[in-house]
């Protein structure tokens, strides 16, 4: 009886894990909007100084990814069928992403859920980058002083007049700027973010490491 009970418990655990994996995987093309994630490279490089991204590049904001999202919260990930990027697609992707490792990861986890072929997804990502204007304070060679998350949001709204009050989120690691996430609809127009996309920073001024 103990063996039977243990077997039933194991089956329940496996079934739960399979269900969770299925929900996480999602269906390619079945999503509601995009998030364009832009990472502040100097913050990443504080903890990854030997990464290819961090060796003498002097990046500011860099493309993290274009992520299909659900309006109710969450996102599809690693959708089937998975396919490797061709040499031509890799070359196109490397004009957008700062490292090959990041490109491959973003395609496998997020791009496959867009419902687009890899080349079209990369074109979509390129177009999304053209939609969002980076504020002058964060352009190369500029050194923004400490800013609160609300001030960063205000600078982005100023540079992107059609962005609504809740059109983006600022992400931090402790009190250090890490990333901004901008909500776009499927046609890549700036859109309001649902409650699941919100600023994740402590109050007060944030440290913004200088580009180097």
What are the catalytic residues? 64, 106, 110
Contact 4, 36 (CB under 8 A): no
Instruction: Return d(Cα 63, Cα 115) in angstroms, integer.
Output: 20
13: phi then psi, degrees, rounded to nearest 5 = -65, -45
The closest alpha carbon to 71, from 200, 199, 195, belongs to 195
Q: Which one-letter DSSP state was computed for residue 74?
A: -
Contact 85, 118 (CB under 8 A): yes
């Amino acid at each position: 009886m103990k063996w039977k009970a243990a077997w039933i418990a194991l089956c329940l655990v496996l079934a739960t894990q399979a269900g969770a994996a299925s929900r996480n995987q999602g269906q390619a093309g079945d999503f509601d909007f995009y998030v364009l994630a832009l990472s502040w490279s100097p913050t990443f490089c504080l903890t990854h100084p030997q990464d290819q991204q961090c060796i003498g590049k002097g990046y500011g904001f860099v493309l993290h990814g274009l992520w299909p999202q659900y309006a109710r919260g969450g996102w599809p990930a690693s959708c089937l069928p998975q396919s490797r990027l061709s040499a031509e697609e890799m070359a196109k992707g490397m004009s957008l992403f700062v490292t090959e490792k990041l490109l491959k990861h973003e395609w496998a986890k997020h791009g496959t859920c867009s419902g687009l072929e890899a080349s079209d997804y990369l074109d979509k990502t390129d177009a999304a980058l053209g939609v969002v204007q980076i504020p002058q304070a964060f352009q190369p060679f500029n050194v923004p002083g400490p800013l609160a998350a609300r001030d960063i949001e205000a600078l982005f709204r100023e540079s992107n007049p059609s962005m609504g009050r809740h059109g983006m989120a600022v992400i931090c690691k402790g009190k250090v700027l890490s990333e901004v996430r901008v909500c776009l609809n499927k046609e890549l127009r700036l859109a309001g973010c649902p409650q699941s996309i919100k600023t994740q920073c402590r109050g007060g001024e944030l440290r913004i490491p200088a580009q180097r």
